[in-house]
């Protein structure tokens, strides 16, 4: 079974995340497992709680039969290191063939991650590329360690990020980049309000 592990803060999860997950399914993955982190070691504190982010992902993908969400990093607490997550998932599901889903921007700093060489032994990298990306250049820029485990997933451009969405919501402006169920949850729980830190 080909399983893509889609980690991230998802603060909040948005339609761009969903389009990437759908592109990975269309590319041939049998399942995309979303893994909201407890704390990204390369970023600051999230605005929404881990529980809220987990629930927002669940709401967004509940009608996607080839997607699921895991609380493996949230229940582990502390900094969320993908190498530990993959080891835990591999131990629980030894028959899974793993792909780690990344944006091209994350590929650029992948070697700064915790034990990237161990990650690459456990999982191939499914890297999202958008129209206009220099694919040859992207591949050639990678060391052999990564180049031999790289799987490029083409997807349409998406003009929004979680940072931009938080700024919109803090300004009291609704965001069309949110799934309706996620937007409803945010409103109901008063997340990303003008008093929140961006």
| CATH code (residue 114) | 3.40.50.620
**Helix and strand counts by DSSP (H, E) for the chain:** 10, 6
Q: Which of 126, 128, 183 lies closest to 157, judged by CA?
A: 128
pTM, whole model, 2 decimals?
0.91
pLDDT digits (tens, 9 = 90+) for 135-193: 777 778 888 888 889 988 988 888 788 999 999 999 999 999 999 999 999 999 999 98
Residues in CB range of 60: below 8 A, 6 or more apart: 13, 17, 18, 179, 181, 182
Q: Examine residue 67 and state whether it is found in any structural domain, yes or no.
A: yes
78-117 pLDDT per residue, tens: 778 899 999 999 999 999 999 999 987 788 788 888 899 9
Tally the domains of the chain: 1
Task: Give how far the C-alpha of residue 25 lies from the chain's centroid of Cα atoms, to the nearest Å.
Answer: 14
In a domain, 187, yes or no: no
Is 185 a member of any domain? Answer: no
């Amino acid at each position: 079974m080909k399983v893509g592990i889609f980690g991230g803060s998802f603060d909040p999860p948005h339609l761009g995340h969903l389009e990437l997950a759908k592109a990975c399914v269309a590319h041939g993955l049998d399942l995309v497992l979303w893994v909201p982190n407890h704390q990204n070691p390369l970023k600051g504190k999230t605005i929404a709680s881990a529980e809220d982010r987990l629930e927002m992902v669940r709401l967004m993908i509940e009608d996607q039969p080839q997607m699921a969400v895991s609380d493996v990093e949230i229940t582990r607490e502390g900094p969320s290191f993908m190498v530990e997550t993959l080891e835990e998932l591999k131990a629980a599901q030894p028959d899974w063939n793993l792909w780690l889903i990344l944006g091209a921007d994350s590929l650029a700093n992948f070697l700064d991650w915790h034990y990237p060489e161990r990650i690459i032994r456990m999982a191939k990298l499914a890297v999202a590329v958008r129209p206009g990306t220099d694919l040859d250049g992207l591949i050639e820029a990678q060391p052999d360690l990564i180049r031999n485990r790289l799987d490029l997933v083409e997807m349409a451009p998406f003009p929004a990020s979680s940072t931009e969405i938080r700024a919109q919501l803090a300004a009291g402006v609704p965001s069309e980049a949110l799934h309706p169920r996620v937007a409803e949850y945010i409103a109901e729980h008063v997340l990303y309000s003008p008093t929140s830190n961006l």
